[in-house]
Amino acid sequence: MDDYALSFWIYMAVMSVFVGGTLRKFLASHVNAIPSLVAWLGATLLVERLCAMCMPAVLALAIFCATCWLYSLWAAPPPVLPVEGKAVFITGCDSGFGHATARRLDAIGFQVFATVLDADSEGAKHLRSSCSSRLTLLQVDITQPQQVQQALLTTKEKLGIKGLWALVNNAGVCVNFGDAELSFMSNYRGCMEVNFFGTLYVTKTFLPLLRQNKGRIVTISSPSGEQPFPCLASYGASKAALNLFINTLRHELEPWGVKVSTILPSAYKTGQSSNIEYWEKQYQHLLQNLSPSLLEEYGEDYILETKDLFQNYAKSASEDLSPVINTIVEALLSPQPQVRYYAGPGIGLMYFIYSYFPVSISDKFLQKLFLKKVVIPRALRKQNELNHIKNNNNDISSSSNNNNNITRME
C-alpha cells in the first residue's frame, strides 16, 4: 500500500511537470508551439498510462528525474549573441516602440542610429539627454528619399568599414477613422506612403550594409494587416502590403545569411492613441468633409460612437511597452530568430482562434474584442423601422381576415 501511495504522488508530480510545461510553452508562443504541444501531450498520456498500471516506485522515480532533467534543458534561457561591435538603425524613434527600443539597445551596448521626424521634439531631446554617445540621432522622414539617402551616408561615415548589423523598421502611421466607405482616399494613400512605400525604400537603401554583415531585419507590423479589424481598412491594407513584402524578402535574403523577422504586437498606448484632442479632431474632420449623402445614410451618432469606441479602446491599452521591446531584443540577438513574434497579452490567443477556428467564430471574436458597436447606420435603422411597420400591418390584416372568417362561420 505504501509503494502504491508513493507511486501515486510521483505520478502526480510527473503529471504536474508535463502539464505545467505544456501550458507554459503554449501560452508563450501559441500557434508556433502546436507541434511542441502535441508532443508534450503525447508524452503526458504515456506517463499517465504507465502510472495507471501501478509501475514500481523506483521506475516512477527514474522517469520523474529524467523528466525534470529534460524540462530543465527545455526551459533554460536561450543563448544570445554578443552585443559588442553591433550597430542598429531604427526608424520612428520620436515616441512609442522606436523611442523605447533606441534607449534599451543603447543601454545594453549597441551602436544605435535613431531616426526622428523632428530633431527638436521632446522625444529627440530625451534621447539626447538619456543615451550614451554611441547613439546617433538623425532627422528623417522615411517618405522623403533624399533624407533617407542622407541618413545612409551619415551611417556609412560613422560605421567606416563595419557593416550594419540590423534594421528595425518601426516608423508607421494610422491616419484612419471610421468604416472603409467613410475613410478618405487620402487616408489610404497616407498609410501606404509611410507604412509600405517608406519602409520599402528604407529597407532597400540599407540592404547592402545588412548583407555585408549577414545581419537582421526586424519589422514592427500589425495584426490588422492579416485580420479584418473593423474601421482599420486603410491602416490594415498598408500593413498587409508590408507583411507580404517582408515575407518575400525573407525568402530572397536567406542565401545571403540575412535573417528577417516580423513582430505583431497587441494594443499599446503609443503616438497619439491616448490623446483626446486627436480623436476629437479626427471626428470633426470626418463630419466636415464627408459627403452629405454618406453622412445622411450613416448618421452622426454612428460616427460619434465609432470615435468614442476608438478612444475608449486606446485608453484601455497597456502602457508597458516592455513585451514588444524584449521581443525586438530577442529578434536581434537570438542565434536563430523566429520568423514571427506575437508580442503582448492576448495576441497569441487571437491568432490561435483566427488560425484554427471557423471564420464565423473568429470574426465574432474579433468584433467583440476590438469595437463593440451598438448603433447601426441611420439608413439601416429606417429600413428596419419600415419592415417592422410592414410586419405589424400584415399581422393586423391577417387578424382582421381571421375575424371575418369567424363571423361568416357564425
d(CA 269, CA 100): 12
219 touches 245 (CB < 8 A) = no
Cell 508513493 maps to which residue?
Answer: 6
Decide if 283 is catalytic: no
- The residue annotated as part of the active site, out of 4, 188, 201, 235, is 235
Cell 529524467 maps to which residue?
Answer: 66
Query: Residue 390 phi/psi, 5° resolution?
Result: -65, -40
Cell 504515456 maps to which residue?
Answer: 46
Could you tell me the CA-to-CA distances from 246 to 71, 203, 219, 231 in Å, in that order?
A: 35, 9, 8, 24
Cell 502602457 maps to which residue?
Answer: 319
Buried b vs exposed e over 155-172: b needs ≥16 C-beta within 10 Å? bbeebeeebbbbbbbbbb
**At a CB cut-off of 8 Å and minimum separation 6, what does 137 contact?**
93, 114, 116, 119, 124, 127, 128
Q: Alpha helices of 317-346 — where are they, by DSSP H?
A: 322-333
HSE value, Cβ hemisphere, 13 Å, CA-based, for 230? 17
d(CA 78, CA 75): 8
Q: Which residues are identified as catalytic?
A: 235
